[in-house]
Amino acid sequence: EVQVVESGGGLVQPGGSLRLSCAASGFTFSNYCMSWVRQAPGKGLEWVADIKQDGSERYFVDSVKGRFTISRDNAKNSLFLQMNSLRAEDTAVYYCARGRGYSRHWGQGTLVTVSS
C-alpha cells in the first residue's frame, strides 16, 4: 500500500525555521517526482514545491523562492522541505504528495503555525 507520512510541523516564531519530512513506503520512491502542497486554515490548496526523481530539477511557487528548499534522500525513502524566514502567511497544513502534476497519493498533512 502506498503511504506518505509527513512530520515536523509545529509552532514557530516569525523569522524562524522548520524542516518538514515525508516518509514514503509501498512504492519505489526513487522512481517518482515528489511535491509539497499547502493549505492555509479555511483556504484553498496551494502548490509549494516539486523535485525530480534524482533531485536534479526543483521548482517553487514564487512566494517561497529563496526561503524554502526541497530535497530528498532516496536511500531513506524520504522527502524534505526546509523552511527558513517563516512568515505568518506560511501558516498552513503542509501535504506531501507523490508525483509531478496531478497526485494520486497524499499524506494526511502536518500543521505549521507561524506566530509570536
Partner 1 sequence: AIQLTQSPSSLSASVGDRVSITCRASQGISSALAWYQQKPGKPPKLLIYDASSLESGVPSRFSGSGSGTDFTLTISSLQPEDFATYYCQQFNSFPLTFGGGTKVEIK
- What are the residues binding partner 1 (CB under 8 A)? 35, 37, 44-47, 50, 59-62, 95, 100-104, 106-109
Q: Which lies closer to partner 1 via its Cβ, residue 71 or residue 100?
A: 100
Q: Least Å distance between CB 44 and partner 1?
A: 5
- Shortest spacing between CB 21 and partner 1, in angstroms: 17
Q: Whose Cβ is closer to partner 1: residue 62's or residue 116's?
A: 62
Cβ of residue 111: shortest distance to partner 1, in angstroms? Answer: 11
CA distance 94 to 92: 6
Instruction: Pick the closer one to partner 1 by CB: 86 or 97.
Output: 97
Give the nearer residue to partner 1 in terms of CB position, either 42 or 116: 42
Q: Spell out the residues 6+ positions from residue 1 whose beta carbon is closer than 8 angstroms to its own.
A: 26
CB of 46 to partner 1, least distance (A): 7
The three-point CA angle 82-84-87 to 5° equals 125
**What is the C-alpha separation between 14 and 34, in angstroms, rounded?**
27
